[in-house]
């Protein structure tokens, strides 16, 4: 199948593309710029044109969308951090993923602060959720193999970026009830 040719870039095309993208995905300002500049580069490679003019269009468009409230880095950071936490990501991974989306340290710290307000021990909750999802530690179907699989289970959580003390707590817990009590203690 032949490669689809990129369309010729114009201000109107970029505006429609940005609106369509934001209709489907929430985005940070830096990520939206990256998406639009990729369209610009592909178009310029195919059709030629003035790169600086296109860059100016993208900058003006992103600024206009920020002023209009369609792009809000703090809102995006908070939503993305919550979503990543619910999926079982450690706070370290969440920070790295937010940084990769072009967010500044203030937005990331604000989002992590909000996450800690909602969940006093976000790493513990996420590690328990991930252990449950992956059926490791006290969630193993065959509990007789737990001792043999301990190192492997710990490695699974460590690769997700969880601190050693939390990994040890989750994997060495005797039962799901013990993990539930650990979460309850963190809220007290």
Per-residue pLDDT of the chain (188 residues; tens, 9 = 90+): 777 888 899 999 999 999 999 999 999 999 999 999 999 999 999 888 899 999 999 999 999 999 999 999 999 999 999 999 999 999 999 999 999 999 999 999 999 999 999 888 999 999 999 999 999 989 888 877 778 889 999 999 999 999 999 999 999 998 888 999 988 888 77
Q: Right CATH number for 73-118 from 3.30.70, 1.10.3470, 1.10.1060, 1.10.10?
A: 1.10.10
Cα–Cα distance measured from residue 150 to residue 106, given in angstroms and rounded to the nearest whole number: 38
CA distances (Å), origin 144, targets 52, 99, 138, 172: 65, 41, 11, 14
């Amino acid at each position: 199948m032949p490669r689809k040719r990129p369309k010729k870039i114009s201000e109107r095309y970029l505006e429609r593309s940005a609106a369509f993208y934001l209709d489907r995905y929430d985005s940070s300002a830096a990520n939206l710029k990256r998406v639009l500049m990729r369209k610009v580069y592909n178009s310029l490679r195919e059709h030629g044109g003035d790169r600086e003019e296109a860059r100016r269009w993208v900058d003006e468009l992103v600024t206009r969308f920020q002023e209009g409230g369609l792009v809000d880095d703090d809102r995006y950071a908070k939503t993305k951090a919550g979503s990543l936490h619910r999926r079982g990501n450690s706070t370290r991974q969440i920070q790295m993923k937010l940084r990769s989306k072009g967010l500044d340290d203030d937005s990331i710290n604000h989002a992590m602060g909000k996450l800690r307000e909602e969940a006093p021990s976000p790493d513990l909750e996420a590690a328990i959720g991930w252990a449950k999802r992956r059926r490791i530690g006290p969630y193993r179907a065959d509990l007789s193999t737990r001792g043999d699989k301990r190192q492997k289970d710990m490695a699974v959580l460590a690769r997700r970026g969880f601190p050693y003390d939390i990994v040890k707590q989750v994997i060495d817990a005797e039962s799901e009830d013990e993990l539930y009590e650990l979460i309850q203690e963190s809220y007290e």
